[in-house]
Amino acid sequence: MTAPATPNPSLALLDKLFRIAVAAAHPSGCLPAHLPPPPAKGRLIILAAGKAAGAMAETAEQHYLHDLRLPRERLTGLAVTRHGYGRPAELIEVVEAGHPVPDAAGLAAAERTLLLASQATADDLVLVLLSGGASANWTAPAEGIAFADKQALTRALLRSGANITEINAVRKHLSRIKGGRLALRAQPARIVTLAISDVPGDDPAVIGSGPTVPDPATLDDARAVLARHRIDVPPAIARALADPASETPKPGHPAFAAMTYQLVARPADAFRAAEAAVRAAGYECIMLGDRIEGEARTVAADHAAQALTLQREGRRAMLLSGGELTVTIRGQGRGGPNQEYALALAIALQGAPGIAALAADTDGTDGGAGAASDPAGAVAEPSTLARATALGLDPAKFLAENDSTGFFEQIGGLVMTGPTCTNVNDFRAIVVDRP
């Protein structure tokens, strides 16, 4: 992280906890034990997507080629991950593509993924390695939907404050790969999906927009999301969402009869590792939940109040929380939910001595323009507001402008990790010591 003006030992502990949580969810540690045996005959076709896709493909390839010595001619596949998150692989091609807004690289890779799936036979095993970010990396617009319109809709949904379940309900009904449709393409092959969850509740239908599972969301749900967030769409998208043929496959569809789905890492796993480190450091650990959703600044205000109450009670504690916060963008600034949370938390704490916090995305990037060098999050500590005052900065104005990155760039406190090659969503920790 970028260093604050004055050293704070609490920040070293917070940074350690974040790194422990990320390591607990890395594919190299969590994936091998779940990899299925290769097919008795036929090919092993590995299809991966999301921010962990490169690392998942690399780990799986090592397992099958070198540990099990599967003949090279029986392994093929394609992995699509976010720009900057690629990993070296021998046979599986790893493509870097846009996130959160899809780009041409993701479009082309999704078409090739669908082709590989459609070539699978009953003797083959299709191994789908899924992680957060797959919805953007695998973009295959439904017939009649222009790619530019799909990109514009994604931007509008992201700016609206819609949560991930709402966003995916729309995306799944405008896609040829999401919402169970990849499973349709892979028939009659057996499908095994191994997923790293980045969503509150770990719902397989939401992780990566559920390309291999039945979709409980309906066209009515998708239209309701757009109406609720007042999002206007082009005529082609409106027609698609009104067409019963756009409905996704539901439970009971024969395409899912030969499908197995398993989670290999969840937010809960990352926090379990962090909780052990908190107690080892001598703090009371208070887990607020790994499924927290809501507006970043609102959640921050609530967490600040809880931290101040703990301090008044004389307790030495650590507040942990995860989930996926949202930001309704009204300004023209830069930032993401974790940075906005940290800024709003600093404002709410008003420099209270003995309280510091870190909020970061476990994938290594929080909002931003989609670059691998974007901040992962930010820290707030007792000197945050004082440093801003010394520079003549008004934190409230930065918050109103949704410019949390601009704020922390000037005063220090950005968390910069680079790509972590995994993704179990937000990690937030507030350390409370006696003043």
Same domain, 294 and 330: yes
Residue 383 phi, psi dihedral angles, 5° rounding: -90, 0
Show the tokens assigned to 51: 């921010």
Q: Which residues contact 224 (CB under 8 A, 6 or more apart)?
A: none
Q: What is the pLDDT along the chain (435 residues), one digit of tens a residue?
A: 554 445 688 999 999 999 999 999 999 999 999 999 999 999 999 999 999 999 999 999 999 999 999 999 999 999 999 999 999 999 999 999 999 899 999 999 999 999 999 999 999 999 999 999 999 999 999 999 999 999 999 999 988 989 889 999 999 999 999 999 999 999 999 999 999 999 888 999 999 999 999 999 999 999 999 999 999 999 999 999 999 999 999 999 999 998 999 999 999 999 999 999 999 999 999 999 999 999 999 999 999 999 999 999 999 999 999 999 999 989 999 999 999 999 999 999 999 999 999 999 999 999 877 788 999 999 999 999 999 999 999 999 999 999 999 999 999 999 999 999 999 999 999 999 988
CB 241 within 8 A of CB 173: yes
Q: How many helices (H) and strands (E) does the chain have?
A: 16, 13
Residue 93: give the domain boundaries.
Answer: 27-140+175-214+249-265
Domain co-membership, 15 together with 31: no
Instruction: Say if residue 44 is in the same domain as residue 130.
Output: yes
Contact indicator for 94, 87 with CB cutoff of 8 Å? yes
The answer to whether residues 389 and 299 belong to one domain is yes
Six-digit token pair at 70? 């599967």
Judge whether 357 and 433 are in contact, CB under 8 Å: no
What is the CATH classification number for the domain harbouring 318?
3.40.1480.10
SS3 175: strand
In angstroms, the CA 381 to CA 385 distance is: 8
Rounded Cα distance, 89 and 86, in Å: 9
* CATH number, residue 198: 3.40.50.10180
Q: Do 306 and 292 share a structural domain?
A: yes
259 & 280 share domain: no
Which amino acid, residue 268? A
Q: Are residues 274 and 338 in the same domain?
A: yes
Asked if the structure places residue 301 within a domain, the reply is: yes
Asked if residue 182 and residue 44 are part of one domain, the reply reads yes
For the entire predicted model, the pTM comes to: 0.91
